[in-house]
Amino acid sequence: MELLDHKLKVAPTAALVLLHAQSLYESGASKAYLSQVDFGEAKLLSEQIEAVLRDFGTLVRYRKRFVRYLLNQYLSKEDPVQICILGSGLDPLSMYLLEHYNDSITRIFEIDNAHLSLKEQLYRRLLPDMRKLQFIQADITDTLHLPGRLRDAGYHPEATTIVLLEGLVYYITDEQFLNTMQFFRTQNKTNVAILDYILPDESVAESALPVYRTTRQLMEKVLEGALQLYSRQQMFAFIELLHGDVAGVDSMQDAEFKLNGRNQLYYQEGEGVIEMISFYI
C-alpha cells in the first residue's frame, strides 16, 4: 500500500495526545495511519510533561477510552446517527468508528482548521470507502459560516447527531463554546454532546494540586495562552443555558472504575484533574 513519501510532520502539541493514544489503535487502517505521523518533537514535549506528571499518558488513554465507552452506549441504538467531531485534529477516531460501528453511522463530519488536507490524503489511501466521511477545514468557533459549511457537506439538522468535543473546550472561550453548541440544539433534545473539561484549582484534590499546577503552567507556556478551566457546577450552568439535559458526568476516578472495574491510580474526586460529561441538546 503506497503511503506518503515522508511522515506527516506537525506541531508537537498537535501530536502530543496522539503519541500516547497509539496503543489504542492496534490494527487496521488506523494503525497504518499512525505509522505515517512524525512523533519526534512530540516525544520531547511529552518527556517534559511526564517529568512532572508521571501518569500523563495514562490520563490521555483513560480520556480516549472513556470517549469510546460513551460512544458505544449511544451507537448501540437501533437508528443510525450522524457524528460531528469538532476540533478533530490528527486523531483517526473516525477510522475506528467506521471499522467498528459502520452500520450505526450515516455520516461522520470532521471539522478542524489545521492538518485536515494531509489527513484526508492519508485517509483516502487507507480506507476503501470514504462515502460516509466528510472533512471540513474550518474554525469551529466561526458560527457565521460553520452551519453553511456543514450543510454543504451533507449535514442534516433534523437527523440525530452525536457531537464530540474531546480536548477542545480547554482552548475556546465560554462564549465560543455556547455559540457553537447553539447550532446543534434540537426542539426535542435528540442530539447528544460528549466533552471533557479541566477542573479549576478548587475542584482538584489537594494531593494532586502541586503537580497539576506545574503541569498546567508548562502547557500554558507551550501554548502561549491560558487554558480554560471549569467546575462541574459551571458546566451544568452552561448546559442549562443551552436548555440541555445532563446525561452523565464522570470524574477520572469514576471513569477508571467503569473502564477497569477497580481504581489503581485515582482514588479521590479531582485527582484526575479532568471530568467527562455528556448531555442531550
- pTM for this one? 0.94
The pLDDT confidence band at residue 1, using thresholds 50, 70 and 90, is very low
Residue 261 CA to residue 258 CA, distance in Å, equals: 6
Q: Is the pLDDT of residue 120 over 90?
A: yes
> How do residues 191-247 score in pLDDT, each as one tens digit?
999 999 999 999 999 999 999 999 999 989 888 899 999 999 999 999 999 999 999
Q: Given CA atoms 61, 64, 66, 69 in this order, what sign does their dihedral have?
A: negative
Strands (E), the chain: 8-9, 37-38, 81-86, 105-112, 133-137, 161-165, 192-198, 245-251, 274-280
63-280 is classed CATH 3.40.605.10: no
Q: What is the DSSP letter of 207?
A: G
Domain residue ranges of the chain, discontinuous segments joined by +: 63-280
> How do residues 93-110 score in pLDDT, each as one tens digit?
999 999 999 999 999 999
